[in-house]
Amino acid sequence: MLPNLYQRDFLKELDFSADELNYLIRLAGALKAAKRRRAEQPLLRGRNLALIFEKTSTRTRCAFEVAAYDQGAHVTYLDPASSQLGHKESVADTARVLARFYDAIAYRGASQRTVELLAECATVPVYNALTDEWHPTQMLADFMTMREHKPAGQIAYAFMGDGRFNMARSLLIMGAIMGADVRIVAPRALWPEPTLQQRAHAIAAHSGARVTITEDVAAGLRGVDFVHTDVWVSMGEDPRVWDERIALLLPYQVNAQAIALTGNPNVKFMHCLPAFHDDQTTIGQQIFARIGLKGLEVTDEVFQSPANLAFDQAENRLHTIKALLLATLAEPAELEVAFLRSE
Protein backbone atom coordinates (compact mmCIF):
# COMPACT_ATOMS: atom_id res chain seq x y z
CA MET A 1 0.00 0.00 0.00
CA LEU A 2 1.35 3.43 -0.94
CA PRO A 3 1.85 6.06 1.77
CA ASN A 4 -1.00 8.55 1.99
CA LEU A 5 0.34 12.11 2.21
CA TYR A 6 -2.92 13.79 1.21
CA GLN A 7 -3.29 17.17 2.97
CA ARG A 8 0.01 16.74 4.85
CA ASP A 9 2.33 19.64 5.66
CA PHE A 10 5.98 19.39 4.58
CA LEU A 11 7.98 21.30 7.18
CA LYS A 12 11.11 19.24 7.89
CA GLU A 13 12.55 15.83 7.13
CA LEU A 14 12.10 14.63 10.71
CA ASP A 15 8.32 14.62 10.18
CA PHE A 16 8.52 11.84 7.59
CA SER A 17 9.49 8.18 7.44
CA ALA A 18 11.89 6.69 4.93
CA ASP A 19 8.95 5.02 3.19
CA GLU A 20 7.16 8.35 2.78
CA LEU A 21 10.26 10.14 1.49
CA ASN A 22 11.03 7.25 -0.88
CA TYR A 23 7.48 7.48 -2.19
CA LEU A 24 7.94 11.16 -3.05
CA ILE A 25 11.22 10.43 -4.84
CA ARG A 26 9.66 7.54 -6.73
CA LEU A 27 6.71 9.71 -7.76
CA ALA A 28 9.13 12.43 -8.89
CA GLY A 29 10.85 9.90 -11.14
CA ALA A 30 7.54 8.94 -12.73
CA LEU A 31 6.68 12.61 -13.26
CA LYS A 32 10.07 13.34 -14.80
CA ALA A 33 9.63 10.48 -17.25
CA ALA A 34 6.07 11.57 -18.09
CA LYS A 35 7.16 15.15 -18.73
CA ARG A 36 9.91 14.03 -21.07
CA ARG A 37 7.40 11.89 -22.99
CA ARG A 38 4.97 14.84 -22.98
CA ALA A 39 2.52 12.43 -21.42
CA GLU A 40 1.88 14.19 -18.13
CA GLN A 41 -1.69 14.13 -16.83
CA PRO A 42 -2.72 17.31 -14.97
CA LEU A 43 -4.49 16.44 -11.73
CA LEU A 44 -4.52 19.85 -10.03
CA ARG A 45 -6.89 21.83 -12.24
CA GLY A 46 -8.74 24.42 -10.20
CA ARG A 47 -6.18 24.35 -7.37
CA ASN A 48 -4.46 27.53 -6.20
CA LEU A 49 -1.04 27.84 -4.55
CA ALA A 50 0.35 30.81 -2.56
CA LEU A 51 4.12 31.33 -2.46
CA ILE A 52 5.26 33.52 0.44
CA PHE A 53 8.94 34.26 -0.21
CA GLU A 54 10.61 36.46 2.39
CA LYS A 55 13.91 35.25 0.87
CA THR A 56 14.25 35.51 -2.89
CA SER A 57 14.95 32.50 -5.06
CA THR A 58 15.46 31.41 -8.65
CA ARG A 59 15.20 27.60 -8.59
CA THR A 60 12.67 27.24 -5.78
CA ARG A 61 10.25 29.82 -7.13
CA CYS A 62 10.51 28.54 -10.71
CA ALA A 63 10.16 24.93 -9.60
CA PHE A 64 6.98 25.62 -7.63
CA GLU A 65 5.48 27.75 -10.40
CA VAL A 66 6.25 25.39 -13.30
CA ALA A 67 5.21 22.35 -11.26
CA ALA A 68 1.87 23.99 -10.51
CA TYR A 69 1.33 25.17 -14.09
CA ASP A 70 2.20 21.74 -15.52
CA GLN A 71 -0.48 20.24 -13.30
CA GLY A 72 -3.10 22.85 -14.14
CA ALA A 73 -2.90 24.85 -10.91
CA HIS A 74 -2.55 28.61 -10.44
CA VAL A 75 0.10 30.44 -8.40
CA THR A 76 0.28 33.75 -6.56
CA TYR A 77 3.78 34.97 -5.62
CA LEU A 78 4.07 37.17 -2.52
CA ASP A 79 7.41 38.82 -1.78
CA PRO A 80 8.14 41.02 1.25
CA ALA A 81 6.94 44.12 -0.61
CA SER A 82 3.57 42.60 -1.52
CA SER A 83 2.58 40.93 1.75
CA GLN A 84 1.74 42.21 5.23
CA LEU A 85 3.08 39.02 6.86
CA GLY A 86 4.47 39.92 10.26
CA HIS A 87 4.28 43.66 9.58
CA LYS A 88 0.65 44.76 9.70
CA GLU A 89 -0.84 41.28 9.95
CA SER A 90 0.26 38.42 12.15
CA VAL A 91 1.46 35.11 10.78
CA ALA A 92 -1.56 33.40 12.32
CA ASP A 93 -4.04 35.80 10.73
CA THR A 94 -2.27 35.58 7.36
CA ALA A 95 -2.52 31.79 7.48
CA ARG A 96 -6.24 31.90 8.22
CA VAL A 97 -6.88 34.35 5.40
CA LEU A 98 -4.81 32.59 2.76
CA ALA A 99 -6.34 29.22 3.63
CA ARG A 100 -9.70 30.65 2.55
CA PHE A 101 -8.28 31.50 -0.91
CA TYR A 102 -5.67 28.82 -1.58
CA ASP A 103 -5.33 25.05 -1.53
CA ALA A 104 -1.73 25.15 -0.26
CA ILE A 105 0.89 27.62 0.96
CA ALA A 106 4.67 27.53 0.47
CA TYR A 107 6.89 29.63 2.72
CA ARG A 108 10.54 30.59 2.20
CA GLY A 109 12.21 32.72 4.84
CA ALA A 110 14.48 32.77 7.87
CA SER A 111 12.28 31.45 10.64
CA GLN A 112 11.32 27.81 11.08
CA ARG A 113 8.84 29.00 13.69
CA THR A 114 7.06 31.09 11.05
CA VAL A 115 6.45 28.15 8.72
CA GLU A 116 5.34 26.00 11.66
CA LEU A 117 2.92 28.69 12.82
CA LEU A 118 1.54 28.97 9.29
CA ALA A 119 0.93 25.21 9.35
CA GLU A 120 -0.69 25.35 12.78
CA CYS A 121 -3.14 28.07 11.75
CA ALA A 122 -3.85 27.20 8.11
CA THR A 123 -6.36 24.52 7.17
CA VAL A 124 -4.44 23.63 3.99
CA PRO A 125 -1.01 22.02 3.46
CA VAL A 126 2.00 24.24 4.16
CA TYR A 127 5.41 23.59 2.59
CA ASN A 128 8.82 24.69 3.85
CA ALA A 129 10.60 26.07 0.78
CA LEU A 130 13.64 26.96 2.96
CA THR A 131 14.29 28.27 6.43
CA ASP A 132 17.55 28.83 8.26
CA GLU A 133 17.10 25.46 9.97
CA TRP A 134 15.83 23.13 7.23
CA HIS A 135 15.62 22.77 3.44
CA PRO A 136 13.42 19.68 2.94
CA THR A 137 12.38 20.27 -0.68
CA GLN A 138 16.07 20.46 -1.64
CA MET A 139 16.64 17.09 0.04
CA LEU A 140 14.10 15.40 -2.20
CA ALA A 141 15.95 16.71 -5.25
CA ASP A 142 19.36 15.80 -3.86
CA PHE A 143 18.40 12.22 -3.10
CA MET A 144 16.65 11.83 -6.43
CA THR A 145 19.83 13.07 -8.15
CA MET A 146 22.13 10.77 -6.19
CA ARG A 147 19.90 7.79 -6.92
CA GLU A 148 20.17 8.51 -10.62
CA HIS A 149 23.86 7.64 -10.24
CA LYS A 150 23.99 5.15 -7.35
CA PRO A 151 21.59 2.53 -5.92
CA ALA A 152 19.65 3.73 -2.90
CA GLY A 153 21.33 1.43 -0.38
CA GLN A 154 24.87 2.25 -1.48
CA ILE A 155 25.02 6.05 -1.24
CA ALA A 156 27.95 7.65 0.62
CA TYR A 157 28.29 11.42 0.65
CA ALA A 158 30.09 14.21 2.46
CA PHE A 159 29.06 17.77 3.08
CA MET A 160 32.01 20.19 3.20
CA GLY A 161 31.49 23.59 4.80
CA ASP A 162 29.46 25.18 7.58
CA GLY A 163 27.68 22.41 9.44
CA ARG A 164 25.29 24.66 11.35
CA PHE A 165 22.95 25.82 8.63
CA ASN A 166 20.07 24.34 6.66
CA MET A 167 21.89 22.32 3.99
CA ALA A 168 24.21 20.52 6.38
CA ARG A 169 21.44 19.97 8.94
CA SER A 170 19.06 18.60 6.31
CA LEU A 171 21.69 16.40 4.66
CA LEU A 172 22.63 15.02 8.08
CA ILE A 173 19.08 14.10 9.08
CA MET A 174 17.92 13.00 5.62
CA GLY A 175 20.93 10.72 5.30
CA ALA A 176 20.24 9.21 8.71
CA ILE A 177 16.59 8.56 7.84
CA MET A 178 17.42 7.09 4.43
CA GLY A 179 20.16 4.75 5.61
CA ALA A 180 23.03 6.53 3.85
CA ASP A 181 26.69 6.91 4.78
CA VAL A 182 26.56 10.64 5.58
CA ARG A 183 29.50 12.73 6.70
CA ILE A 184 29.63 16.35 7.81
CA VAL A 185 33.16 17.66 7.27
CA ALA A 186 33.61 21.02 8.96
CA PRO A 187 35.77 22.88 11.47
CA ARG A 188 34.68 21.97 14.98
CA ALA A 189 33.43 25.51 15.63
CA LEU A 190 30.93 25.07 12.78
CA TRP A 191 29.55 21.62 13.61
CA PRO A 192 25.80 21.01 13.99
CA GLU A 193 24.56 21.50 17.54
CA PRO A 194 25.03 18.48 19.84
CA THR A 195 21.31 17.74 20.16
CA LEU A 196 21.00 17.42 16.38
CA GLN A 197 24.04 15.17 16.23
CA GLN A 198 22.48 12.96 18.89
CA ARG A 199 19.21 12.85 16.98
CA ALA A 200 21.00 11.81 13.79
CA HIS A 201 22.88 9.01 15.57
CA ALA A 202 19.67 7.76 17.20
CA ILE A 203 17.88 7.63 13.83
CA ALA A 204 20.88 5.92 12.23
CA ALA A 205 20.81 3.21 14.89
CA HIS A 206 17.42 2.15 13.52
CA SER A 207 17.91 2.85 9.81
CA GLY A 208 21.36 1.34 9.40
CA ALA A 209 22.87 4.67 8.33
CA ARG A 210 26.43 5.66 9.12
CA VAL A 211 26.81 9.17 10.56
CA THR A 212 30.21 10.85 10.81
CA ILE A 213 30.97 14.40 11.91
CA THR A 214 34.62 15.28 11.58
CA GLU A 215 37.07 18.12 11.02
CA ASP A 216 39.46 15.74 9.24
CA VAL A 217 39.05 16.46 5.53
CA ALA A 218 40.93 13.40 4.30
CA ALA A 219 39.03 10.99 6.54
CA GLY A 220 35.69 12.63 5.80
CA LEU A 221 36.10 12.44 2.03
CA ARG A 222 37.65 8.99 1.73
CA GLY A 223 35.51 6.70 -0.42
CA VAL A 224 32.46 8.92 -0.87
CA ASP A 225 30.39 8.96 -4.06
CA PHE A 226 29.19 12.57 -3.74
CA VAL A 227 30.71 15.75 -2.32
CA HIS A 228 28.19 18.44 -1.35
CA THR A 229 28.82 22.03 -0.37
CA ASP A 230 26.97 25.32 0.01
CA VAL A 231 27.81 29.02 0.20
CA TRP A 232 29.82 29.99 3.26
CA VAL A 233 27.54 32.80 4.37
CA SER A 234 23.83 32.06 4.47
CA MET A 235 21.14 34.35 3.12
CA GLY A 236 20.43 37.20 5.52
CA GLU A 237 23.70 37.00 7.46
CA ASP A 238 25.74 40.15 8.09
CA PRO A 239 28.30 40.50 5.24
CA ARG A 240 30.93 41.44 7.85
CA VAL A 241 31.28 37.78 8.82
CA TRP A 242 32.89 36.96 5.44
CA ASP A 243 36.53 37.38 6.55
CA GLU A 244 36.17 35.20 9.63
CA ARG A 245 34.16 32.55 7.81
CA ILE A 246 36.55 32.36 4.86
CA ALA A 247 39.52 31.91 7.20
CA LEU A 248 37.74 29.02 8.92
CA LEU A 249 36.44 27.34 5.79
CA LEU A 250 39.18 27.74 3.20
CA PRO A 251 40.67 24.34 4.17
CA TYR A 252 37.20 22.89 3.42
CA GLN A 253 36.92 24.28 -0.10
CA VAL A 254 35.88 21.73 -2.72
CA ASN A 255 38.82 21.86 -5.10
CA ALA A 256 40.78 19.37 -7.18
CA GLN A 257 42.74 18.22 -4.13
CA ALA A 258 39.54 17.55 -2.18
CA ILE A 259 38.08 15.58 -5.07
CA ALA A 260 41.29 13.52 -5.28
CA LEU A 261 41.07 12.73 -1.56
CA THR A 262 37.89 10.73 -2.18
CA GLY A 263 39.93 8.12 -4.05
CA ASN A 264 36.87 7.62 -6.24
CA PRO A 265 37.37 8.29 -9.98
CA ASN A 266 33.58 8.50 -10.40
CA VAL A 267 32.90 10.90 -7.54
CA LYS A 268 30.33 13.62 -8.24
CA PHE A 269 30.05 17.19 -6.99
CA MET A 270 26.74 18.62 -5.76
CA HIS A 271 25.58 22.13 -4.85
CA CYS A 272 22.10 23.54 -4.21
CA LEU A 273 23.09 26.80 -6.01
CA PRO A 274 23.81 29.62 -6.37
CA ALA A 275 27.55 28.92 -6.15
CA PHE A 276 30.48 31.30 -5.82
CA HIS A 277 32.87 29.52 -8.17
CA ASP A 278 34.15 32.53 -10.14
CA ASP A 279 34.10 36.34 -10.14
CA GLN A 280 31.17 36.71 -12.53
CA THR A 281 28.69 37.87 -9.89
CA THR A 282 28.53 41.07 -7.86
CA ILE A 283 29.42 39.25 -4.64
CA GLY A 284 32.11 37.27 -6.43
CA GLN A 285 33.70 40.48 -7.67
CA GLN A 286 33.57 42.00 -4.19
CA ILE A 287 35.27 38.97 -2.66
CA PHE A 288 37.94 38.92 -5.38
CA ALA A 289 38.65 42.61 -4.88
CA ARG A 290 38.88 42.12 -1.13
CA ILE A 291 40.90 38.91 -0.77
CA GLY A 292 41.87 37.80 -4.27
CA LEU A 293 39.84 34.57 -4.37
CA LYS A 294 37.81 33.79 -7.50
CA GLY A 295 36.23 30.65 -6.07
CA LEU A 296 34.95 30.27 -2.54
CA GLU A 297 33.20 27.06 -1.47
CA VAL A 298 34.10 25.42 -4.81
CA THR A 299 36.69 26.21 -7.43
CA ASP A 300 35.71 26.90 -11.00
CA GLU A 301 37.81 23.91 -12.05
CA VAL A 302 35.56 21.53 -10.12
CA PHE A 303 32.36 23.40 -10.95
CA GLN A 304 33.03 23.28 -14.70
CA SER A 305 34.09 19.63 -14.65
CA PRO A 306 32.01 16.60 -15.72
CA ALA A 307 31.70 15.70 -12.04
CA ASN A 308 29.28 18.58 -11.42
CA LEU A 309 25.65 17.48 -10.87
CA ALA A 310 24.37 20.86 -9.69
CA PHE A 311 22.27 21.44 -12.80
CA ASP A 312 20.74 17.96 -12.55
CA GLN A 313 19.86 18.85 -8.96
CA ALA A 314 18.30 22.09 -10.17
CA GLU A 315 16.12 20.27 -12.71
CA ASN A 316 15.08 17.72 -10.14
CA ARG A 317 13.77 20.51 -7.90
CA LEU A 318 10.91 20.76 -10.43
CA HIS A 319 10.06 17.07 -10.44
CA THR A 320 10.30 16.58 -6.68
CA ILE A 321 8.27 19.70 -5.87
CA LYS A 322 5.68 18.56 -8.38
CA ALA A 323 5.59 15.19 -6.62
CA LEU A 324 5.04 16.98 -3.30
CA LEU A 325 2.16 19.03 -4.70
CA LEU A 326 0.49 15.98 -6.18
CA ALA A 327 1.02 13.76 -3.15
CA THR A 328 -0.56 16.33 -0.85
CA LEU A 329 -3.26 17.84 -3.10
CA ALA A 330 -4.37 15.23 -5.65
CA GLU A 331 -6.85 12.52 -4.81
CA PRO A 332 -4.68 9.49 -3.84
CA ALA A 333 -6.52 6.93 -5.98
CA GLU A 334 -6.42 9.19 -9.03
CA LEU A 335 -2.72 9.86 -8.50
CA GLU A 336 -1.86 6.19 -8.27
CA VAL A 337 -3.66 5.39 -11.50
CA ALA A 338 -2.16 8.34 -13.38
CA PHE A 339 1.51 7.97 -12.48
CA LEU A 340 2.52 5.11 -10.25
CA ARG A 341 0.83 2.11 -11.84
CA SER A 342 2.34 3.01 -15.20
CA GLU A 343 5.96 2.95 -13.98
pLDDT in tens, 18-40: 999 999 999 999 999 999 999 99
Q: Has residue 78 got a pLDDT over 90?
A: yes
Fold for the domain defined by 13-134+315-340: Rossmann fold (3.40.50)
pTM: 0.96
Amino acid at 33: A
Q: Has residue 276 got a pLDDT over 70?
A: yes
- Return the CATH number of 150-308, one of 2.60.120.560, 3.40.50.1370, 3.40.50.300, 3.10.20.30: 3.40.50.1370
Question: What are the percentages of helix, strand and coil residues in the chain, rounded to 5?
Answer: 50, 15, 35
Please state whether the peptide bond connecting residue 80 to the residue before it is cis, i.e. omega within 30 degrees of 0: no
Q: Has residue 84 got a pLDDT over 90?
A: no
The domains spanning 13-134+315-340 and 150-308 adopt the same CATH topology: yes
Per-domain residue ranges for the chain? 13-134+315-340, 150-308
Backbone angles phi, psi at 191, to 5 degrees: -75, 160
User: CB of 224 within 8 A of CB of 158?
Assistant: yes
Q: What is the pLDDT of residue 281?
A: 84
pLDDT digits (tens, 9 = 90+) for 199-226: 999 999 999 999 999 999 999 999 999 9
